[in-house]
Structure 1
Amino acid sequence: FLSWASLRERGARLHEQDPAVLEKLTDAVEPHQPVAMMYTSGTTGDPKAVVLSHYNVLYEAVALNRAVPVDKHQPAIAYLPLAHIAERELAIYRALYEATHIYVCADPGQVVGTLATVRPTSFFGVPRVWEKIAGGLRAALASMPEGDRAGALPTIVHQLGLDQITWPVSGSAPLAAPVREFLASAGIDVLEVWGMSETTGCATANTPGDAKPGTVGRPLPGVEVRIAEDGEIFVRGPIVFLGYLQPDGTIRKETDEDGWLATGDIGTLDEDGFLTITDRKKELIITSSGKNVAPTKIEGLLRAHPLVGYALAVGDRRPYLTALITLDEETAPGWAAARGITGTAAGLAAHPAVRAELDALVEEVNGKLARAEQIKKYRVLPSAWSPETGELTPTLK
């Protein structure tokens, strides 16, 4: 590693040798030259090296500002890995364009505490982060005497540091409707966006004053979206990446002759131009009877409960769906303590009261699903999932 002091020393030496060294470098940069290479998370296959251009990242920053104008020097938190396109765009490229004040939270597990210190005006969270925030709000309410709960949410939201947010954003995966609705009842109207590394992050967005719950919004200015006959979403515009880096150093273009990129996501466009994501094309479960099932919808409904950390629907080429569930290490003990039950999340997995609650949850979720989507059996695992243990990617997918 190169220390900051060594970097400054090298820079000073270069500048002394040639005072115009920086200008020579910047003047030589062309808009469509690569600015960054980042790997996809590889949730549906081997990771691919996505190459972005200077034009890609700056256009995305400008388009976001057109869609959601923000004042200069606003505080923001960077807590996701910089391998995540949303963090890279928001914490580096848009931050440079908007002169945002970035507070780095090195441990994503501490982001909720950091919110109270920074009090950002916008905040991007993957669904798991919003689920944890919702769980924290519910736990705080549950710990209060019943008579004090009415009207308490604004105070709790202020204590969490979310009272200044004007654009709370969720992306990377669908946010379950019960979570979104609960947060909205607390005054946090989380707006969903959609995109991928290959579209330099956000391609469509719900924005304050132009949003439709359950969708991921309209295309950004200058971006086009169309739906193929099989439901796959195609994107065209200045945010589409240069291509994938190949082993020989070349960049393989992925768009067709008309500039359209096949995203691998399935969705629909309504009459107002709002996009709804159904699922990843490669993640659809096809049961033994030939029914196509979108697992993210089922998993999101299960994760909306404060007991549940993660859920995985299983059923490809099987007669019915089952699920694996892990308890939330942070909110499950609080849920249990409020009911006079003690123990860690791992110890609670076999507790009769927890099992009864999960039985009721699965029954409730099944009531919201079509017959082919319903969970017939489930198992609670004794340990949590994490990137360190290998079940999750660094972006918690």
Structure 2
Amino acid sequence: MLPDSKVINFMGWRKTAAAFSLVLLLVSIGSLAVKGLNLGLDFTGGSQIELGFDQPADLGTIRSALAEEGLENPVAVYFGSESEVLIRTQSALQDGAIERIERALAGISEQAGIVEITKAETAQVGIAENIRLEGVTVEQLQEANVFDQKYFGNTEFSSDNGAVTVAIENTLDNVYAETLMATLAEATGSSVELRRSEFVGPQVGGELRDEGGLGMLFALAVVMIYVAIRFQYKFSVGAVAALIHDVIIVLGFFSLMGLDFDLTVLAAVLAVIGYSLNDTIVVFDRVRENFRKMRRGSTHEIINSSLTQTLERTLITSLTTLLVLVVLFLFGGELINGFATALIVGIVVGTYSSIYVASNILAAMHLTKEDLMPPEREGEEQEELAP
């Protein structure tokens, strides 16, 4: 056993640490219940467009232009370089085209509006979609150039029963991508090229959200089973309690700060589970070893000695990892800021929980040397007594 002067009395602060953890958990759970998570495009569904500019793009100008487009929560970030911009929105691209058409119709008549949008039939060669309108005439549409051929391609107008049907060559998704590029080119004074455009449906986003949550629960269940087999059930409860503590606080931090929660952040949360578990297992292994080696000392004294012996390793590992993550956060670009942020918060909280939450649970459950003694095999006593 280490000399008393060299052993840090971690367990002397266990009640303060427990109160601190409880406050963090209550704040996190309260924020998750009231505000929820600001789910990203991966989970909500929506669209993203990757654009290339012929000169470094000004994100401030681009964001100002997007704010006037009527899209839902548009986000613009650099993608690879300052001349590559990724635009994300939680609405379909065609919603932006519909918004533009409706604004143009409002300028013609207050009664004008879109009744229905349908995909073209197979027999309609060169036509992608049909748009049915009411409260407006073909002449008014042509005069106002609502369906500019530059964006909509070839158009065919027909009217029946007071309604007008416009058959357009390009899909509304493509129409909006082209008009958005023209708007951004005008706002930034540079040429814009479409590199990639894709849509994530809400059903796919829902599946990703559900499967991600199930994956996290499965990871916690496997951890609990492994630690129970590898150590003892009290260690299992302590390890899983620490992991749940870490996950809730990381999620609560993202909820409280209003940060986007997407698949990269979910991956970071799962990485935090692995990192925190690794740290906790190192501490638990030393606790088990000291319980078997030390003949004297209370549960709190043995846990204090174990935590003191592993403290240097814990801090060095955490600090070196944090150094890399801080650099990644500062210079890695906006696309991975959420990932780096989740890991930074998770490692700080995970280091704390491996010292105070996991070990605190062991002390609260009154871990004893008898808990760690190997079970006697049947007939062992009779073999020892036999001549």
Greater percentage in helix? 2
Q: TM-score, normalised by structure 2?
A: 0.22
Q: TM-score, normalised by structure 1?
A: 0.22
Q: RCO (CA 8 Å, sep 6+): is it higher in 1 or 2?
A: 2
Greater percentage in strand? 1
